[in-house]
Amino acid sequence: MLTDALKNQIRDIHRQLKSNLTNYQPRPGQNKMVAEIANTLAGSYHSYDRTLLVEAGTGTGKSLAYLMAAIPFAIKQKKTLVIATATVALQEQLVQKDLPFFLKHSGLTFEFCLVKGRQRYACVEKIRQQLQQPELLPLFQSTAPTALLQQLLTNWQQRQWLGDRDSLKEPIADEHWYGIASDPAHCNKANPAHHQCPFHLARAEIEGSSVLVVNHALLLADLDAGSQILPEPADCIYVIDEAHHLPDSGRDFFSAYAPLHFPAQYLEKLKKTTQQLAGVLPQQGAMTEVLKLDELASDFLKQLKPVQHQIELNQSAWFAKEPHYRFVDAVLPETFAAHADQLAEISGKALSAVEKLQQFLSEAVTEHKVATKLALPLQFELTAIEHRFEQQSELWRLYSVPQQKQVNQARWLSLDQKEQQHSSAYACPLSVSFLLDDLLFSQAFATILCSATLTTLNSFDYIKQELGLSQHPGLQTLKVDSPFDYQNKAHLLLPKMLTDPGSDAFTDELITKLPQYMDKKAGNLLLFASYWQMQKVVEALRSKGWSFLVQGEASRQSLLELHASKVKAGEGSILCGTQSFSEGLDLPGALLTNLVITKLPFAVPSSPLEEALSEAIIKRGGNPFLQMTVPATARKLVQACGRLMRQEMDHGRIVILDRRLVTKTYGKAMLNALPPFSRTIEE
């Protein structure tokens, strides 16, 4: 139970925080959120299943709410608070703003740090080696220019760069970053030369930190790997922020992809690498792994040939209409099914052999038995080989899982449109609910999941099912409304329209109607359901003298900066975008007072995963439109409308030019799921 001492401590912290917050306004919703989180963590509702779903409307102050409730409890119980977010923007807000503010004014003493994946960090020793031995540079097609390498090293030495990709002043191309990124083979802590590399310094911060900020992908990867970076789940309090993204993050993480083409020269290159390894590795046992890898690679390609042949025979039929071909009900063609087990087994053994050779090579370099000049190109080659076999192992492991009556995977092939002899295979779980429950919810000391859009059509049922929480005995839910005065500060207008959004004439009507709903002197945002429709409307209206800032015509950051400068100069600006501009776009105050949504953001089930999900629902006797499409669209609409009011004093108008909100049976539920804007529905 929640003790009086802890209650009083949280109240004291709250008083200290609000006295130091500029323009503080009382927020009953935030108080309720703090209380529910604290009671959940203390086991007031259930002795071991401490799980809470919280939808906190915009402006609630949810970040400070969960910090107020969770940090004092975590310190008292000697638990680690792990905060997982879906976006870099929220991570930066927590680490650069919310946590420093909380630490300064709470009266508590604790350490916090941002935990990122290894690939986000550079290996400074790798940079130094490439500069000291320029003769090595031609070996690596991905190597960054010498001038760039020198600048990075200088900035690191002068503490002007933190050594990670996110703190670079200028972005680096992917192929250049790949050549300097930290990886286990090169940047090994066992080698003293790498002790001061950014990755190892960052990992050292974890040990003394009570609060760790991660992204969803790293959290899932670490749980799946058996907690190699973060503490064991039983020792953690998890706050999953932006939790509506967690099911998709899970599908992305637990899916697999692998190219099915291996150029003839690939095997020759691999043989050359194994020969070089045999010549330089002094350790006993290394030769055994070299011979094993050589043999396994040959066996793998032999097993893959029938699969490649079947794709060639069926290419014109399978890819006649789309650049992808989905295996209905995840049933593999006979040749795929016959070889899946062996391909999974062989690629797994090959991966193990590569990992052992990486270890042998790393030890030889550390013990100065192999010169860096010889080892570095071999380490690069082994890393590339390891990546290939890792992809293959994950794919064929999923393909070798037999599908029961209730299909649990989507499986498909895709064809490279430029190199049509190149195909790739994909596998993706339809649901990750069991995996999330097994790895996270059933193992954690406590889990708090929150978001501004966690309910669907005013119900938690959809997200419960997606996350696998429907049967959790201690699960609590809380919906906290936004403190914003939507009724008086925001107006929703549904104009009369002549055409249905599904007809070809709808685009023409948009071109005719939009000018009367745009304000040339204000901050406007126009959201489109398709990139094609946006381009057609913009092109037509530009010919009539309208000016737009359009997604895709410049970087997102450049567009936002130009939009802000135009609005602040009193010129007004019209920003145009598609679905990615409907979430995570922050345009406070005058930057957005007029939001126009041209069409409900229905997703067309054209991707293989969406097709498979629809198919599975139909086989269970359900309706995929009502059970999948409508809930997803309702959530997207709430997110889109959420762009208008970001601060308490914001105000403006939302115009939705899609009459299905009033003509279709599902429309009323979608309207009622929106914040309580004042409404005008033209008849």
**The three-state (H, E, C) secondary structure of 413-424, written as one string:** EEECCCCCCCEE
Interstrand relation of 423-429 and 256-259 (parallel, antiparallel or unpaired): antiparallel
Query: Does the pLDDT value for residue 142 go beyond 60?
Result: no
Indicate the fold that domain 490-681 takes in CATH.
Answer: Rossmann fold (3.40.50)
Phi, psi (rounded to 5 degrees) for 160: -95, 0
CA nearest to 65, candidates 120, 28, 104: 28
CA nearest to 592, candidates 526, 511, 535, 517: 526
Query: Does the pLDDT value for residue 575 go beyond 60?
Result: yes
Query: Does the pLDDT value for residue 136 go beyond 80?
Result: no
The answer to whether domain 4-14+25-110+210-250+433-480 has CATH 3.40.50.300 is: yes
Mean pLDDT of 226-244: 96
What string of DSSP letters covers 489-553?
A: HEEEEE---SS-TTSTHHHHHHHHHGGGG--TTSEEEEE-S-HHHHHHHHHHHHTTT---EETTS
Q: Which residue has the higher pLDDT, 156 or 167?
A: 156
Phi, psi (rounded to 5 degrees) for 508: -65, -40
Q: Are residues 359 and 367 in contact, defined by beta-carbon separation less than 8 angstroms?
A: no
pLDDT for position 129? 81
Query: Does the pLDDT value for residue 461 go beyond 90?
Result: yes
Interstrand relation of 446-451 and 236-240 (parallel, antiparallel or unpaired): parallel
The CA distance from 357 to 288, in Å, is 10
Q: In the chain, what percentage of residues exceed pLDDT 90?
A: 66
Mean pLDDT of 197-207: 88
Residue tagged 């097994």 (tokens):
438
Could you give the 3-state DSSP secondary structure of residue 456? strand
Q: Which residue has the higher pLDDT, 154 or 374?
A: 154
Q: How far is CA 84 from CA 116, 162, 240, 652, in A?
A: 11, 22, 5, 32
- Summarize pLDDT for 494-550 with one digit per residue, the tens: 999 999 998 989 999 999 999 999 999 999 999 999 999 999 999 999 999 999 999
The CA distance from 192 to 618, in Å, is 59
pLDDT for position 54? 98
Count CA atoms within 13 Å of residue 503 on its CB side: 12
Query: Does the pLDDT value for residue 663 go beyond 80?
Result: yes
Domain boundary assignment for the chain = 4-14+25-110+210-250+433-480, 118-200, 262-421, 490-681
The CA distance from 180 to 424, in Å, is 27
CA dihedral defined by 599, 600, 601, 605, rounded to 10 degrees? -110
The CA distance from 472 to 486, in Å, is 35
Instruction: Give the type of residue at 287.
Output: M
- Summarize pLDDT for 20-35 with one digit per residue, the tens: 988 777 789 999 999 9
CATH topology agreement for domains 4-14+25-110+210-250+433-480 and 490-681: yes
Q: Are residues 239 and 82 in contact, defined by beta-carbon separation less than 8 angstroms?
A: yes
Average pLDDT over the chain, rounded to whole?
A: 91
Q: How far is CA 114 from CA 117, 304, 333, 580, in A?
A: 10, 42, 45, 25
What is the chain's alpha carbon radius of gyration, rounded to the nearest angstrom? Answer: 28
CA 258 to chain centre: 20
Interstrand relation of 423-429 and 409-415 (parallel, antiparallel or unpaired): antiparallel
Q: Which residue has the higher pLDDT, 592 or 321?
A: 592
Query: Does the pLDDT value for residue 143 go beyond 70?
Result: no
Most confident of the following: 184-188, 283-287, 442-446, 501-505: 442-446
- Summarize pLDDT for 31-79 with one digit per residue, the tens: 999 999 999 999 999 999 999 999 999 889 999 999 999 999 999 999 9
Query: Does the pLDDT value for residue 95 go beyond 70?
Result: yes
Query: Does the pLDDT value for residue 605 go beyond 70?
Result: no
